[in-house]
Amino acid sequence: MNGIINIFKPEGITSNGVVNAIKRLTGEKKIGHIGTLDPLAKGILPLFLGKYTKLISHCNQETKTYRAIATLGATSTTLDREGEIETVQIPEECTPKKIEETLHTFVGESEQIPPMYSAVKIKGKKLYQLARKGLEVEREPRLITLLQIRLLDSDLPDFSFEVTCSKGTYIRTLVDDIAKKLGTRAYLKDLTRTACGKIFTEKNALGLEDAKKMDKSDLQRKFIDPKYILYDWHEVRIDSAKLQRHISQGRTIPVSLDQISFSDPEKPISKAIARSQSGELIAAGSLEFSQDSGSRFCPEKVFI
């Protein structure tokens, strides 16, 4: 079964637990997702089923948006409420206005050191495996980008904020880095992912418990058409069974301009999807244009 569905992961379950639940519902063994959420976190978890797992690499570079609640004046071994908590002082000058000003200093590119309790691998070992043994190792900082961050509420020692950031950003680490700039420490109390890119949002997310009540056909009606995911790609219509067969074999095929629906003729992009006459997604790839030989579609990911 090929499909894309946006599931709202509840708190207290792993991302892999959500994947296994959808596997049982659909019978599809091959399912992948965008962006792992810790058991503590809740929010949207886009799932790709069957051959559509090939699209994950095209979607995984999108920005992600979170709502977070942080607690100032304490440290945590895991940087969230599930670790061992130790209280520290909060400076008197740590006001809501100061917090808001500090948040804004994080907008843009910066380096972030992954937390020990994370799935990052060093010499073949996941960091959280080492952390559980009481070990701490040196980690290389990673470049991250915060597109926007804004204070939502402040009721000290707690404050909440919304952030849109690049792939690979650890909100737990961000919370503690913010606190350090404020002259104290903090841990992540609550986290909700509200968006992955432009397409996957809370509005089109299906709750996991609601999904469990559906049969396979009802669940399929909640699938998201890949054209919305690849909204800025050109589209090529392939009517010929022979050409479809060539694409299934990974062969480049000639196409005429009247077969192409351009997403934006002014945009200098080559990315394109190929569909059958019935609308079935056949392949994702690129278009080549030549004055001598005309246009060609080059398949890269094949779905038939």
Task: Based on the fold, state whether residues 117 and 182 are members of the same structural domain.
Answer: yes
End residue of a domain, out of 206, 224, 242: 224
Task: Based on the fold, state whether residues 49 and 80 are members of the same structural domain.
Answer: no
Among 57, 41, 193, 44, residue whose Cα is nearest residue 118: 41
Task: Based on the fold, state whether residues 117 and 85 are members of the same structural domain.
Answer: yes
Domain count for the chain, please give it. 3
CATH code (residue 294): 2.30.130
Task: Based on the fold, state whether residues 192 and 286 are members of the same structural domain.
Answer: no
80 is catalytic: no
Task: Based on the fold, state whether residues 97 and 13 are members of the same structural domain.
Answer: no
Task: Based on the fold, state whether residues 55 and 202 are members of the same structural domain.
Answer: yes
In angstroms, the CA 77 to CA 122 distance is 19
Mean pLDDT value of segment 156-165: 97
Share of the chain above pLDDT 90, in %: 69
Which tens digits make up the pLDDT trace of 27-41?
999 999 998 999 999
Model confidence, pTM: 0.89
- Mean pLDDT is lowest, of 54-63, 91-100, 233-242, 260-269, for 260-269
Task: Based on the fold, state whether residues 192 and 209 are members of the same structural domain.
Answer: no
123 vs 289, more confident: 289
Q: DSSP string spanning 225-239?
A: PHHHHTTTSEEEEE-
* pLDDT value at 266 more than 90: no
- Mean pLDDT is lowest, of 152-156, 251-255, 257-261, for 257-261
Which tens digits make up the pLDDT trace of 178-237?
999 999 999 999 999 999 998 999 999 999 999 999 999 999 999 998 888 888 888 999
Q: DSSP string spanning 38-78?
A: -TT-EEEEEEEEGGGGGGHHHHTTS-EEEEEEEEESEEETT
CATH code (residue 51): 3.30.2350.10
Residues spanned by the domain of 292: 232-302
- Mean pLDDT is lowest, of 238-247, 260-269, 271-280, for 260-269
Binned at pLDDT 50, 70 and 90, residue 239 comes out as confident
Task: Based on the fold, state whether residues 86 and 183 are members of the same structural domain.
Answer: yes
